[in-house]
Amino acid sequence: MLRNGVLFLDELPEFKRETLEVLRQPLEEGDITVARLQATYTYPARFMLLASMNPCPCGLLSDPAAACVCTPLQVQRYHHKISGPLLDRLDIFIEVPRLRFEEVTTTRVSEPSRSIKKRVEEAREKQRQRFNSDTVTCNAHMGSQHVQQYCALDAD
Ligand SMILES: [Zn+2]
């Protein structure tokens, strides 16, 4: 069982819909129940799901440098391979455009891992302080009551 790890599913629409639907329970509840003839077992299964997919079957729908060859119906079918309830359980969607050859091969200075680590540690410390007297340990585990308590919007 996957516990507190990262599950990365590349080409998400290529998985069988039934396979993806099985992920709904652990994404929602943090555990998974397996029913057999004689007994039912529940295992811990809290994890971070990362998934990738193309914008359409040919992959060029949003590409400014090449034309998509898919029909609107093909694009619609491709997107409908992932159910609404599963999409509801994903928190962040990011469109990542294709990089040009020069962008991939050019050497440039990026943010050092050390400074990224420092920012992550600072964010984790804020979470530790925020949830000091609570049962959750990070934002991903917050329920609706936690969101109301800790994420109240002000007038602005
Ligand atoms: Zn296409």
**Cα 24 to middle of ligand 1, angstroms:** 28
Q: Which of 6, 8, 10, 19 is nearest to 47 (CA)?
A: 6
pLDDT given for residue 18 in this prediction: 92
**Cα 23 to middle of ligand 1, angstroms:** 27
**Cα 56 to middle of ligand 1, angstroms:** 4
pLDDT given for residue 152 in this prediction: 87
Residue 1, pLDDT > 60, answer: no
Higher pLDDT, 87 or 3: 87
3-state secondary structure of 44: strand
Q: Which of 33, 21, 138, 139 is nearest to 87 (CA)?
A: 21
User: Tens digit of pLDDT for each residue in 71-87?
Assistant: 999 999 999 999 999 99
Residue 68, pLDDT > 80, answer: yes
Give the predicted TM-score (pTM) of the model: 0.75
- Locate the domains of the chain by residue range: 5-96, 113-150
Q: Which of 94, 32, 97, 96 is nearest to 65 (CA)?
A: 97
**Cα 2 to middle of ligand 1, angstroms:** 34
**Cα 91 to middle of ligand 1, angstroms:** 25
**Cα 73 to middle of ligand 1, angstroms:** 11
67 within 8 A of 60, measured Cβ to Cβ: yes
* 140 — pLDDT class (breaks 50, 70, 90): confident
Token code pair at residue 126: 């804020």
3-state secondary structure of 28: helix
**Cα 92 to middle of ligand 1, angstroms:** 23
Amino acid at 43: Y
Strand stretches in 56-97, DSSP E: none
**Cα 83 to middle of ligand 1, angstroms:** 20
Q: Which of 20, 24, 16, 13 is nearest to 79 (CA)?
A: 13
